[in-house]
Structure 1
Amino acid sequence: MQQQEYVSVTEFCNGHSISTTVITQLKEYGLVSIVERSNSLFIPLEELPKTEKILRLHTDLDINLEGVEVITRLLERIENANEELIRLKNKLSLYE
């Protein structure tokens, strides 16, 4: 069984000079995953790049959470479409 590593939400927020409520709001919008253990909140390590990207959109570009949600969903759709395109190109190359 693979052990997953986590970063404390409090440490993450202190490092980025933000309130923990921002991360809680991101979780409420379904943008990040948060795990609760021993009455503390943690972010899985593999979620950190995504969380930091969302946080930059929200804080640096001053985009509201609804806008960040839309942007994130669109980026996911583009990434999925690109993966599908690559898969289909590879499949097509087998027949050429």
Structure 2
Amino acid sequence: MKLKDFIPIVQLCEHYSVEVSFFNELHEEGLISITTLEKTSYLHQDKISDVEKMIRIHQELNINTEGIDAVFNLLNKIDSLQNELNKLHNRLRLYENDF
């Protein structure tokens, strides 16, 4: 575990203008994983794009963390279905080109 890959939660709170409790609630819902080292909480940098989506959902739509969980799961399902649809379109093109 490299500390340079992690961003302090306090720094994220300042940047996005949210409370530490928001990140704690996301963690309690299982939406993010918080790593604590020497009394400082961190978030892995790979999760920043997900957290940005969650913050927008929370701030712009005024949705609580339980709602964010539902919305985020639906968005992930939509992405999965879109990928599956694209694969099927590509397979269909292969068959259409053969005829």
- Per the TM superposition, whether the score is higher than 0.5 is yes
Question: TM-score with structure 1 length normalisation?
Answer: 0.83
Number of aligned residue pairs: give it: 94
The letter of the residue matching 1:88 is L
Cross-structure match for 1:69: 69
Cα shift readout 1:21-42 (whole Å, capped 9, x = no counterpart): 1101011112223222333211
- For residues 57 and 6 of structure 2, the distance between their equivalents in structure 1, rounded to whole angstroms, comes to 23
Cross-structure match for 2:47: 47
Question: TM-score with structure 2 length normalisation?
Answer: 0.81
Q: Percent identity?
A: 30
Runs of 5+ consecutive residues of structure 2 not aligned to the other structure: none
Richer in helix (by share): 2
Cα shift readout 1:31-70 (whole Å, capped 9, x = no counterpart): 2232223332111112111101101211232112221111
- For residues 89 and 76 of structure 1, the distance between their equivalents in structure 2, rounded to whole angstroms, comes to 20
Cross-structure match for 1:16: 16
Other structure's SS at 2:61 match: coil
